[in-house]
Every structure is written in C-alpha cells, then in structure tokens.
Amino acid sequence: MGIEDEVGGNAVKVYKSMKEMGMLSEEKMGTAERVTQSTRLPKTMVMNALQELQNKGWARRKVREKAAGYYLVK
C-alpha cells in the first residue's frame, strides 16, 4: 500500500517534492515556504497537505524559533 492510496493528490505532490529536496531526516528538514516554492501550489494547499501527511504518519513537524520545520518519516 503506497502513499497514493492513503492521501490526496496535493499531499502526494508535496511528499514527492519533499523527497526530491532531501527532507528525509530532522537534520535536513525544511520549511513550508520551501515546499510551497518547489510545488508551486498555494500556501494554504501546502499547509493542508502537510497536515494530512502528519495525520497519516508520513511526515513530522518540529517547532523552531522562527519557522516550523518539516521532514518525512516514511
């Protein structure tokens, strides 16, 4: 069972973009702004997709001083 079966289209696009950028660990996490620039989706769609990925266990969010960081788990 792949990611396409569990989440919507925008979440798949965000997931693939994060994977291409190498956001695969806490040390290499990136911001939602970076994901927004690479996917060319509106920021609200990216934020909703990131939330969906978090709820399904595909991504994690780490709160930092300025901006939260996101990285993939699976």
Q: What is the 3-state secondary structure (H, E, C) of the chain?
A: CCHHHHCCHHHHHHHHHHHHHCCCCHHHCECHHHHHHHHCCCHHHHHHHHHHHHHHCCEEEECCCCCCEEEECC
Please give the share of the chain, as a percent, with pLDDT higher than 70.
99
Q: What is the arithmetic mean of pLDDT over 60-67?
A: 94
Q: What pTM was estimated for this model as a whole?
A: 0.92
- The token pair at 9 is 């289209």
Instruction: Domain 3-72: state its class.
Output: mainly alpha
pLDDT tens, position by position, 5-23: 899 999 999 999 999 999 9
Contact call for residues 23 and 61 (beta carbons, < 8 A)? no
Q: What is the arithmetic mean of pLDDT over 42-61?
A: 96
The count of residues in the chain is 74
Would you place residue 1 in the very low, low, confident or very high pLDDT band (cuts 50, 70, 90)? low
